[in-house]
Structure formats: C-alpha cells, structure tokens
C-alpha cells in the first residue's frame, strides 16, 4: 500500500507539470492521491476548479456529492476514499457564446495517458464516468437514457471492469432533474451502492 501511495503521489506531481495542450488553461487539476478500488472520471475542470485546485469544487460538485451522500459517502469521505480522474485535467476555456469549450480530440488524446497510468496503477474494479464526454471514452453513447441506470462490464486496460455511468450534475442540464433521468440516476446510484468496490471504499479507514 505504501509503495502504491508513493507511486501515485509521484504520478500526480508529474501530472501537475503537464503543459501538452497550448489552448488549455492550467495548472492541471487532480484529486487526492486516494488508493481506491473506485475511480470517478469527470469531463474537464471548470475555471473555479482551476482556482481552487480540486475537481468538482463548485456548483456541479455540490450536486454530485449530494448524490454520493445518499449512498453512504459525504464529500470529505468521498474525496479521501475514491480516486478522482478526468478525461482532461485542464480547463478548456470559455466559448464566445458562453459555456465551456468541449476539449478537442487531440487534447483528449494528449491527456489519455494520465488516466491510463492511473488505471494501471490502481486496478480499480469499478469506474464511474460522469457526463457524456467521460462515458464516451468507454462506450458509444448517443442518448444518456441508453446507458445510465445499468452496470456495464467492459474490458479496460486489459481487464474486464464494471462501469456505472452517471449524468453530468451541471445546473444547466435538466436531464437528471426530470423523468426518466430521475429514475435512471437513482438506479445507477443503487447499483454503485451494491457494488463490492464501493463497500470496500466505504470501509477504508
């Protein structure tokens, strides 16, 4: 455990120095170096996350951590016991018409090796991608209704792992606040709650 912890901390120090994408606004955001059987994969940090140096640090985070508190982990415990990764670790910037820019394919590819290294190191049996961009890194997704509310068993980094997707908790989205999103979100949370990896994370000291 100590060796994994040290390696993970070294990995995060290298990640914090990454400047591969000239149009991205850093520094890269990382969660705590939690050695965990569960990995959460977000999309990309917003400008508030860059300022506060932690993922899901603002309004969407309050919603997200409210979901996890319903199944047994409040925000502080979640940050300590679940490894928080993302498709991209830097802020893509704002669009002229408002809203955050979606990272480009090259930017996503540039950042992919960081998450691949984390999966290789932690070997998490449970992955929780949040939002369409994150879900799309593991499976095709045209409509959230088709993938949320289910446990998917897919090969990731050479091993079959469980993937339980969640919608993005953005206040701009109504999907998780209207049906069938409300029901499918609850089904997904209950599937996470029942998963042995989640129970293991809950039991960590």
DSSP string covering 60-82, please? HHHHHHHHHHHTT--HHHHHHHS
Query: Whose structure tokens read 């050479």?
Result: 158
Predicted model pTM: 0.96
Let me know: does 36 contact 83? Beta carbons within 8 Å.
yes
Higher pLDDT, 161 or 96: 161
Q: Per-residue pLDDT for 187 more than 70?
A: yes
Per-residue pLDDT tens digits for 146-177: 999 999 999 999 999 999 999 999 988 999 99
The helix or strand, by DSSP H or E, that contains position 194, with its residue range, turns out to be helix 181-194
How high is the mean pLDDT of the chain? 96
Strand partners, 162: 126, 153
Q: How many CB atoms lie within 10 A of CB 153?
A: 8
Per-residue pLDDT tens digits for 188-203: 999 999 999 999 999 9
CATH number of 2-203: 3.40.470.10
Q: Per-residue pLDDT for 205 more than 80?
A: no
Residues whose CB falls within 8 Å of the CB of residue 40, separated by 6 or more in sequence, listed in order: 31, 82, 83, 84, 85, 128, 130
What is the per-residue pLDDT for 96? Answer: 82
CA distance 19 to 38: 27
Closest CA to 88 of 137, 158, 122, 141: 137
Over range 15-30, report the average pLDDT: 96
pLDDT cut 70: percent of the chain above it: 99
Burial of 9 (0-12, 13-18, 19+ CB in 10 A): exposed
Per-residue pLDDT tens digits for 104-159: 999 999 999 999 999 999 999 999 999 999 999 999 999 999 999 999 999 999 99
Residues whose CB falls within 8 Å of the CB of residue 112, separated by 6 or more in sequence, listed in order: 87, 137
Geometric angle at alpha carbon 93, from 19 and 107, rounded to 5°: 45
Q: Are strands 38-42 and 159-163 parallel, antiparallel or unpaired?
A: unpaired
């Amino acid at each position: 455990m100590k060796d994994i912890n040290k390696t993970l901390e070294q990995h995060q120090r290298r990640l914090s120095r990454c400047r591969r994408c000239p149009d991205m606004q850093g520094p890269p955001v990382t969660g705590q170096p939690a050695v965990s059987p569960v990995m959460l994969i977000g999309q990309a940090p917003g400008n508030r996350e860059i300022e506060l140096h932690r993922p899901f640090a603002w309004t969407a985070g309050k919603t997200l951590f409210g979901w996890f508190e319903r199944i047994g982990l409040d925000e502080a415990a979640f940050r300590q016991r679940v490894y928080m990764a993302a498709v991209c670790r830097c802020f893509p910037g704002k669009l002229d018409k408002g809203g955050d820019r979606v990272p480009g394919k090259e930017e996503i590819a540039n950042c992919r090796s960081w998450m691949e290294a984390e999966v290789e190191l932690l070997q998490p049996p449970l992955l929780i991608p949040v939002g369409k961009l994150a879900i799309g890194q593991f499976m095709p997704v045209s409509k959230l209704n088709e993938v949320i509310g289910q446990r998917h068993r897919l090969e990731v980094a050479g091993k079959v792992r469980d993937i339980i997707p969640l919608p993005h908790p953005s206040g701009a989205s109504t999907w998780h606040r209207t049906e069938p999103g409300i029901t499918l979100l609850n089904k997904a949370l209950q599937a996470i709650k029942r998963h042995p990896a989640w129970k293991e994370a809950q039991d960590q000291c």
